[in-house]
Structure 1
Amino acid sequence: MISHPEKPKARRPRVAVASLMQETNTFSPIPTTVAVFEEYYIHRGDAMRDGYGAARVEVPGVFAGLTAAEIDVVPLIASYAAAAGPITRPAFEELVSEMEARLRDAGPVDGLILVLHGALVVEDQPDGDGEVVARMRAILPDGMPIGVSLDLHAHITPLMLQPDTFHVGYQEYPHVDMYESGERVAGLMARTLAGQCRPVMALAKCNVLVPAVCGRTTDGPLAHVARAARKMEGEGSILHASIFPVQPWIDVPDLGFAALVCADGDRAAAQAFADALAARVMEIRHKFTLDSVPLDHAIEVAHTNDGMTLVSDSGDAPTGGAAADNVAVLRALLDAGADKQPRLSLLTLCDPVAAQIAHGVGVGAVIEVSLGHAFSINDGAPVSTSARVLSVSDGRYVMHDPGAQGLPMDMGRTAVLGIGQLRVVVRTRPSMEWDTGIYLSQGLDPSTAALVFVKSPSHFRVSFGPLAARILVADTPGPTCADVRKLQYTRVTRPLFPLDDF
């Protein structure tokens, strides 16, 4: 009997995965350093596999999608920092150089997936994400695919559109499909490696800033554009259509709405679809109305009506890059006598010193404290007041509402201060305010309050919205203010709506 040697088993595809995420705000008073990333996370190598716990965000979605397609995952490095000012060049170099070194040392790979935000600004480079993509492209052989996951508020540039590189953006705002976006980019990578498609990209832009408070895909004018993108995909002629109403609080050239369409080998078709989406936004630009109200009006509505009034303090939103330390809301509440109303008003504030004082004196103590503007020292004066320390905690909780459920949050030392009928959650870090856990974890039930303020332009509607009798957007100051005409842009390409009316 003649024996035949067994054929060697084919090597499973290997795809490297890396992430560098920050949504920069060039008007923010907080510079971004490596220490800011370390406050949140830097997962290296295999620590990426379980470093996210049960969080439904992009990287775990990428891992799940690749694993389901029987592709081996090669984790490189994943780093995240909350929105703040531009990242310093030394910090950017440290993180990107490590990503480059890990990619070079990864052994043979068949592709790379980058999980980026898309609005990362370096102090000397307005397009940090584009530089990341270009530097990774330079390492890999021509023809090897790179897949890029992007936030819906990415600032899309030609530098991002490197050869053999495809992009997939979130489909939803409020952001409830981060995990699914990771799965989508992994699925498209799997199809590409299997020879089932050949992704090509086309970009179309228009000089329109869509205000974050009215740029939802669930309702309002942008929802019609989002539905048009999904219809294009459903017709089967393109692989993916992404719309990017852009992070409006970055002062960089060529800022504006972008449509990015991925087609299977047909770049002309992709360009036609992208042009159609951008043209639709240009046509409806005047429909993006703010509908914001003065603070004193919001407070009056809350205390003269039944049910809970939910108010967006958009100007001080930490997920957009604000320091979350502005006391405009607290001052307005005190001026309106909300501290003497029969029902509670809830608000938050980032003030490390006040949080430390509260921890030092303990629960039950009454303190004289100066609150606010711990970081934005040039944007207002603190409020001096007497407050009772109602609770103290380490500020840790796990998000459970739709969006980033399962993501651990760490507000740093946190205290609840009582000023009459006001409850102020004073924390050390300006963490995101997407989840009701920011109050529930501190023993406060927003559903029973008369008035609840949330420092968020839109995402808060998913979590807090079902508890509210009404939702208002307050005209509050700060680097994430709803009305971008109040900011001092110097580098954007003009004309730009609504800074310029046309």
Structure 2
Amino acid sequence: MTGSGAQGRRVAVASIMQETNTFSPIPTTVALFESYYIHRGSEMREGFGAARVEVPAVLATLDAAGVEAVPLIAAYAAAAGPMQRPDFERLVSEIETRLDAAGRVDGLILVLHGALVIEDQPDGDGEIIARMRARLPEGVPIGVSLDLHGHITPLMLQPETFHVGYQCYPHTDMFETGERVARLMIDTLEGRCRPVMALAKCPVIVPPVCGRTTDGPLSEVARAARRMEADGLVRHASIFPVQPWIDVPDLGFAALVCADGDQGAAQAAADTLAQMVMDVRDEFPLGLTPLAEVIRIAHSSDGMTLAADTGDAPTGGAAADNVAVLRAVLETGADRKPGLTLLTLCDPQAAGLAHQAGVDREIEVALGHRFSVLDGAPLIVTAKVISVSDGRYVMSDAGAQGLAMDMGPTAVLGIGQVRVLVRSRPSMEWDRAMYLSQGLDPAAASLVFVKSPSHFRESFGPLAARILLADTPGPTRADIGQLPYRRVTRPLSPLDPI
């Protein structure tokens, strides 16, 4: 995996990004990818706009080093259920075809998530890596970037393949991760580094609500990884508290470490990090608050209360259409309180009805459970159409800053002092621009709900007087012991005592 210099080198770049939730009611199809984006060839250079995510970082870093980037395909779909084999084959075979047509390449960079599940393959990302490895000549390195919530398996550890994961959760270093994997590829091609990988796992799931790298027990593990890098022991030490909502064998925390030629150092570092998590496995408190109590606190306290609807998070694979929060808000009389309550729902039919009725019209509408039809029934309400829009906005805060979002036809419905942002697509709720783009100011509300386990803290957190984690139902619920796991390898903490 060495070369005589990066100049004149050609590195292919491809991406399939999807985080599976095997409890999600939404199937992952090619059509779902198309509804977000599939950029092909040169479209990869313009399609991301100003978004600070991995692919633009990879391309920019290769360009700056004089390496010819060969863009193949970049596809993204929001978290959803397992992917069917024919849909998977359509995307992966297109990468293979484009890679074959690219001619000689000196390296390949894959931007993946790490938690893609196929109907007949629990590690879709590992299959992608293995298939690309089989198509490239011996000596051609593969670099892989991964989300911190990847499900890491031995299948990913293909020969002459190195991996770099996000360092931060909330995910504020996606662009920097792209830079890191591209720089390591350049150093590999120039002969300055000979990457070797080591993997260590332990049977522990770290729930995202308490698995931040900014505070809490996992932050100590993240700091240890950074010290290993700073001390020169390893090149990259990546930790993966894992996407908890996938029911697959060998699920658990992983440490994946890259060292420069020293396999022993890489394995020792990985083992140390995995043992650190094993040692603190009982120290990850969920910190959940009953939904009715969240509402009571918000409307009896000064300042804005920020509440996570933990069970219905679209970035984890929920449909974002559960009415548990809206039902509780109305049952507790929040619609008659002085301060505003803001919440969201994904309901394309209700959004369409609001568009048809028009602003300032009053409508009777059944809200919710358009996708999660087995988890509850729609709630019939009478509401005023406050506004309608195309649902487009650009994320402005740290994380995927600059990423263009499209919620589809969107409406704000007013029910007394409650404002329901009704959108047509279950898009991520990381950024305050989601509300601001629809004329709703979170800072001026008494209670703001976001369907996100932790990332929302980066953008919404500074506005809040307090942050509460609402114990809500759904396929991303924080109390994972309530989910019907059948395939995970047991014992597994926190499902079982270990």
Scaled by the length of structure 1, what TM-score is found? 0.98
1:135 to 114, 131, 138: 131
Q: Deviations over 1:232-284 (max 9, x none)?
A: 00001211000000000000000000000001111111001100000000000
Long gaps (5+) in structure 1 = 1-8
Structure-2 residue corresponding to 1:18: 14
Query: What is the DSSP-based 3-state SS (H/G/I as helix, E as strand, rest coil) of the residue aligned with 2:311?
Result: helix
Long gaps (5+) in structure 2 = none
2:274 to 278, 300, 310: 278
1:28 to 24, 27, 30: 24
Matched, 1:260 2:262: no
Structure-1 residue corresponding to 2:218: 222
d(CA) in 1 for partners of 2:359, 2:7: 61
Q: CA deviation at 1:10?
A: 9.8
Q: Deviations over 1:20-48 (max 9, x none)?
A: 00000000000011100000000000000
Matched, 1:45 2:41: yes
Structure-2 residue corresponding to 1:103: 99
Q: Deviations over 1:401-460 (max 9, x none)?
A: 110011000000000000000000000000000000110000000000000000000000
Q: CA deviation at 1:316?
A: 0.1
Q: CA deviation at 1:479?
A: 0.2
Structure-2 residue corresponding to 1:236: 232
Deviates more, 1:62-71 or 1:99-108: 62-71
2:456 to 457, 460, 465: 460
Structure-2 residue corresponding to 1:148: 144
d(CA) in 1 for partners of 2:91, 2:51: 23
Structure-1 residue corresponding to 2:364: 368
d(CA) in 2 for partners of 1:130, 1:143: 19
Query: What is the DSSP-based 3-state SS (H/G/I as helix, E as strand, rest coil) of the residue aligned with 2:360?
Result: coil
Q: CA deviation at 1:66?
A: 1.0
Structure-2 residue corresponding to 1:192: 188
Q: Deviations over 1:340-389 (max 9, x none)?
A: 00110000000010000000010011111110100000001111110000
d(CA) in 1 for partners of 2:126, 2:418: 45
Q: How does 1:397-416 map to 2 (within 5 A)?
A: 397-416=393-412
Query: What is the DSSP-based 3-state SS (H/G/I as helix, E as strand, rest coil) of the residue aligned with 2:289?
Result: coil
Matched, 1:341 2:337: yes
Q: How does 1:442-481 map to 2 (within 5 A)?
A: 442-481=438-477
Query: What is the DSSP-based 3-state SS (H/G/I as helix, E as strand, rest coil) of the residue aligned with 2:443?
Result: helix
Q: How does 1:158-173 map to 2 (within 5 A)?
A: 158-173=154-169
Matched, 1:64 2:60: yes
Q: CA deviation at 1:11?
A: 6.2
Question: Displaced runs of 4+ in structure 1, greater than 2 A?
Answer: none
d(CA) in 2 for partners of 1:468, 1:261: 37
Structure-2 residue corresponding to 1:5: none
Identity %: 74
Q: How does 1:200-219 map to 2 (within 5 A)?
A: 200-219=196-215
Q: CA deviation at 1:67?
A: 1.4
**Contact 2:347/2:423 (<8 A) preserved:** yes
d(CA) in 1 for partners of 2:206, 2:489: 15
- What amino acid is the match of 1:117? H
Structure-2 residue corresponding to 1:330: 326
d(CA) in 2 for partners of 1:436, 1:450: 15
Structure-1 residue corresponding to 2:242: 246
Q: CA deviation at 1:70?
A: 1.4
- What amino acid is the match of 1:250? I
**Contact 2:249/2:489 (<8 A) preserved:** yes
- What amino acid is the match of 1:193? L
**Contact 2:6/2:67 (<8 A) preserved:** no
Query: What is the DSSP-based 3-state SS (H/G/I as helix, E as strand, rest coil) of the residue aligned with 1:52?
Result: coil
Structure-2 residue corresponding to 1:312: 308
In structure 2, do the counterparts of structure 1 residues 392 and 409 end up closer, same or farther at CA, with 3 Å as the change threshold? same
**Contact 2:7/2:67 (<8 A) preserved:** no
- What amino acid is the match of 1:375? F
**Contact 2:322/2:376 (<8 A) preserved:** yes
d(CA) in 1 for partners of 2:430, 2:205: 23
d(CA) in 1 for partners of 2:137, 2:482: 46
Q: CA deviation at 1:65?
A: 1.3
- What amino acid is the match of 1:359? H
d(CA) in 2 for partners of 1:389, 1:226: 46
d(CA) in 1 for partners of 2:104, 2:15: 19
Structure-2 residue corresponding to 1:3: none
Structure-1 residue corresponding to 2:387: 391
Structure-1 residue corresponding to 2:487: 491
d(CA) in 2 for partners of 1:284, 1:257: 12
Structure-1 residue corresponding to 2:153: 157
Q: Deviations over 1:39-62 (max 9, x none)?
A: 000000000011100000000111
- What amino acid is the match of 1:73? A
Structure-2 residue corresponding to 1:440: 436
Q: How does 1:288-307 map to 2 (within 5 A)?
A: 288-307=284-303
d(CA) in 1 for partners of 2:471, 2:456: 16
Structure-1 residue corresponding to 2:170: 174
**Contact 2:6/2:189 (<8 A) preserved:** no
Query: What is the DSSP-based 3-state SS (H/G/I as helix, E as strand, rest coil) of the residue aligned with 2:287?
Result: coil
d(CA) in 2 for partners of 1:10, 1:335: 64
Q: CA deviation at 1:68?
A: 1.8
d(CA) in 2 for partners of 1:250, 1:87: 12
d(CA) in 2 for partners of 1:69, 1:259: 30
- What amino acid is the match of 1:303? H
Query: What is the DSSP-based 3-state SS (H/G/I as helix, E as strand, rest coil) of the residue aligned with 1:499?
Result: coil
1:431 to 401, 406, 427: 427
Q: CA deviation at 1:124?
A: 1.2
- What amino acid is the match of 2:373? I
